[in-house]
Amino acid sequence: MIRAVIVMNTQGKPRLVKFYDFQPPEKQQELIRSVYGVLSERADNVSNFVEADAIFGPGTQLVYKHFATLYFVFVFDSAENELAMLDLIQVFVETLDRCFKNVCELDMVFNFNKMHMLLDEIIFGGQVLETSSEQVLKAVEEIAKLEKSSSAISLVPKSVSARFGR
């Protein structure tokens, strides 16, 4: 099971955090600081796989990729495959690139809801749902269309909608 997805910048500021098992906010902050401490000390030429027993408990690993100013980190237990998680990070980043036309840290800051929506289409409840960037983008586009149509309907005054049978 995937236990957490963390995207943070190279200064340790979290830009996207999703824990799939309950952690109080204080504990989440402590875990994020610990993950950053481990990642910031690692050389660029070492493996992207880290045993995270000391941080998250026994049988836990994290895999990460460093793109520009961002670390993409997936924390998972022994039921998941390390290479599959590394590939899932790649799918997530490719989906973000396709959605935002070369994703950057500011995209993550100003499009917080869309980031969570994309992640929820890929992972839900700690389980992988979709590994195709195209399918994820289609689902997000459908959600956006539904949100747009429902907000347009709610903007029509009730007296007008009653007159026109809406």
Residue 13 has pLDDT above 90, yes or no: yes
Domain range for 127: 2-155
Residue 9: both structure tokens together: 């910048």
Asked if the structure places residue 17 within a domain, the reply is yes
Asked if the structure places residue 164 within a domain, the reply is no
CATH number of 78's domain: 3.30.450.60
Q: pLDDT by residue (tens digit) across 79-97?
A: 899 999 999 999 999 999 8
Asked if the structure places residue 160 within a domain, the reply is no
* pLDDT for the residue 98: 87
Asked if the structure places residue 52 within a domain, the reply is yes
Asked if the structure places residue 125 within a domain, the reply is yes
- Count how many domains the chain has: 1
Which residue has better confidence, 61 or 147?
A: 61
Residue 154 has pLDDT above 60, yes or no: no
Return the ∠ at Cα 30 (arms to 68 and 32), rounded to 5°: 20
Which residue has better confidence, 140 or 18?
A: 18
Asked if the structure places residue 112 within a domain, the reply is yes
Asked if the structure places residue 165 within a domain, the reply is no
What's the Cα-to-Cα distance from 17 to each of 8, 42, 131, rounded to whole Å? 8, 21, 20
* pLDDT for the residue 103: 82
Residue 160 has pLDDT above 50, yes or no: no
Asked if the structure places residue 162 within a domain, the reply is no
